[in-house]
Structure 1
Amino acid sequence: MATPLSASVVLTALRAEGVRVVEVGNWRTHNRAGHGAWGPLNGSIVHHTVTKGTASTVAMVRDGYASLPGPLCHGMIGKDGVVHMVGWGRTNHAGGGDPAVLAQVIAESYGTRPTPPTKGNANGTDGNSRFYGWECENLGDGKDPWPEAQYQAIVRVQAALCRAHGWSAKSVIGHLEWSSDKVDPRGFTMAQLRADVAERLKHPASWSPTKTAPAPEKPPAPKPTTPAPAPAPSTDDRVKALHANLLAIGEIGTTAKGTSSGRVEHGAGYFLAHILEEVRALRADVAILKKES
């Protein structure tokens, strides 16, 4: 059993756990004082809202409705993982529940889940005096998804309370585990939620699960490069080529095509054309040399 945390202390605990918090109006003093006790506290209950739309859901859980005045919880956890604090003190969230379940939560003595409740809102023990309450925005049809940001916020909120009180994750239950006439929350199991809360409690409040590092990007393919132009032949290269072509003319017809010499015959015109090209190039080289001298 524990004395309820003050509004300031719970706010500090939530933020230390990495919870994004929005303070709604006079939430620190908005409660059902005068309609029953609040405390000693034994745990925390998770609910779903059966609503869609964060703003309208916040208004509903803060103000209540005709048959059930608000606040209907202490904080509402939106789809985006933001926790909207709407009340502090006694709130209308838990209603009646099974005293046998309460005893198991106090002792933290059950296995993966408490024994199924046999009492409900009409004939059970007052849960509003014994539990913190957290409504979570969801249609409650078992199909509406629970975004990762929202689920992780639920885990962090429950871990913050357990850490502040020195409780284990077994002090966290779902409304369906408290009351025989409730089904919330739907869409995830409380056993898994408790396991995730227990894992958080092994680490400091600032801990965040390690994410898998993204695969390194492949280096960009090298851009195609234009081959560097071949260097211009030197004067010496031109003289050698001229000499080779002159020798080739003298050998025309002396070596049969396809013999072991490997030479492929060309006509005299082929070699004369190359000789003329080399002579012109040599003349240009000579002209340059004359200018430079």
Structure 2
Amino acid sequence: MATPLTADQILKALRAEGVRVIEVGNWRTHNRNHKGAWGPVNGSIVHHTVTKGTATTVALCRDGHADLPGPLCHGVIAKDGAVHLVGWGRTNHAGGGDGAVLAQVTAESYDVRPTPPTKGNSNGSDGNHAFYGWECENLGDGKDPWPAVQYDAIVRVQAALIRAHRTKGDDWGTDAKSIIGHLEWSNDKVDPRGFPMPQLRTDVAERLAHPANWNPTTSEEDDPMAGITKQDIYDAVWLTDKVPAPADAANAKTNKSWAAQSVLTDLHARVRRMDATTTAQAAAIKALAGQLGAGADTATIVTAVETAIRDAVIHVDVNVNQKEN
């Protein structure tokens, strides 16, 4: 049980969680507050829209229809993973439901799922004041697919809500039991159809075990660059017996002006010198074979090789400096 997040707080929470947010019109003040209070909030309800097409779906959820005025939710989670915020405050999304379920969600006392609701929209308790509502674009026929990017956005939105309430000091638990489906609230609803709510809660809880910017497609344990800093790269590249640091880097521990690009510039120059050296050596060896045939002495050959390499490297340094300047 908690005071609802403000519009600014939900925006910040969603973006921190990596959600792509689209603000629709005057969503911050678009609500049904004149019909009753919004809050305290006890949880969040996930719905499916029974619609096709994002633009049509967003317009319907914002404006409603003749029998049910909008907004019909707080945000529409589209097929492409974008979250369209259409209202903030009391919205027409939960309708009537089972008060026993509300009690279980508030106390987070249920196991895998709340006890099946025995009341519905016509004879149940008002849920519009007690829940956030998220409509997810889907036909709800059990055949319309749920793209991975959309499901990921659903998980991120619910995790963002819980994380934001924890930041406020609200008791919203650790196992995502504040998140339910519409079918778990009202006995005459079937949404969301296409994925099980216990699995969604498991995935939200998993996300909450990581930082808000966690990307589940990249394993933190397996990522070889995880935790690598600029200092680590500097040490690996320059602090060896064979490769001295560039002159402008001086000491890795004390030089505060060193920047990564100085290492890359220096490394680029070194690679070009090595390439030029190899080319010059090949040319010198070819010349060596010809001179040996003509009876050239060793000193003459060594001087010829050194001169060829020096000229090649100087040429590279001139070109690099000209490009840098």
The TM-score with structure 2 as length reference comes to 0.65
Instruction: Name whichever structure is richer in helix by fraction.
Output: 2
CA–CA distance in structure 1, aligned partners of residues 140 and 16 of structure 2 = 29
Work out the CA distance in 1 between the residues paired with 2:150 and 2:41. 25
- Displacement of 1:211 in angstroms is 3.9
SS of alignment partner, residue 76 of structure 1: strand
Partners of 1:86 and 1:61 lie apart in 2 by 7
Amino acid at match of 1:189: P
Superposed, 1:140-289 pairs within 5 Å as: 140-166=140-166, 167=172, 168=174, 169-211=176-218
What is the CA deviation profile of residues 190-218 of structure 1, one whole-angstrom value per residue up to 9, with x for unaligned ones?
A: 000000000001011111114489xxxxx
Shift of 1:165: 1.3
Asked if 1:90 corresponds to 2:97, the answer is: no
- Give the Å deviation of 1:144: 0.3
Deviation string 1:117-136 (CA, Å, 9 cap, x unpaired) is 00011111110000000000
Q: Distance in 1 between matches of 2:163 and 2:33?
A: 26
What residue in structure 2 maps to residue 249 of structure 1?
A: none
Distance in 1 between residues matched to 2:51 and 2:218, nearest whole Å: 32
- Identity rate of aligned residues, in percent? 79
Inter-partner Cα distance in structure 1 for 2:95 and 2:129: 9
Look up the match of 2:245: none
1:59-78 superposed matches below 5 A? 59-78=59-78
Aligned to 1:9: 9
- After the TM superposition, which segments of 4 or more aligned residues of structure 1 sit over 4 Å from their partners? none
Structure 2: stretches of 5+ with no match in the other structure: 167-171, 223-325
* CA deviation map 1:243-288 (0-9, x unaligned): xxxxxxxxxxxxxxxxxxxxxxxxxxxxxxxxxxxxxxxxxxxxxx
In structure 2, how many angstroms separate the alpha carbons of the residues matched to 1:211 and 1:16? 17
Counterpart code for 1:37? A
Q: Radius of gyration: which is bigger?
A: 1
Match of 1:192, SS state, is: helix
Partner SS state of residue 110, structure 2: coil
Distance (Å, rounded) in 1 between the aligned partners of 2:111 and 2:34: 36
Q: Which amino acid aligns with 1:181?
A: D
The alignment yields a C-alpha RMSD, in angstroms, of 1.0
Partner Cα separation in structure 2 for residue 165 and residue 118 of structure 1: 29
2:310 counterpart residue number: none
Higher mean alpha-carbon deviation, 17-26 vs 160-169, is at 160-169
Structure 1 residues 33-88: Cα deviation after superposition (integer angstroms, max 9, x where no partner): 21011000000000000000000000000000010000000000000000000000
Partner of 1:35: 35
Where does the alignment leave 5 or more consecutive residues of structure 1 unmatched?
A: 214-293
**Partner Cα separation in structure 1 for residue 135 and residue 44 of structure 2:** 11
Amino acid at match of 2:144: D
Say which SS state the counterpart of residue 123 (structure 1) adopts.
coil
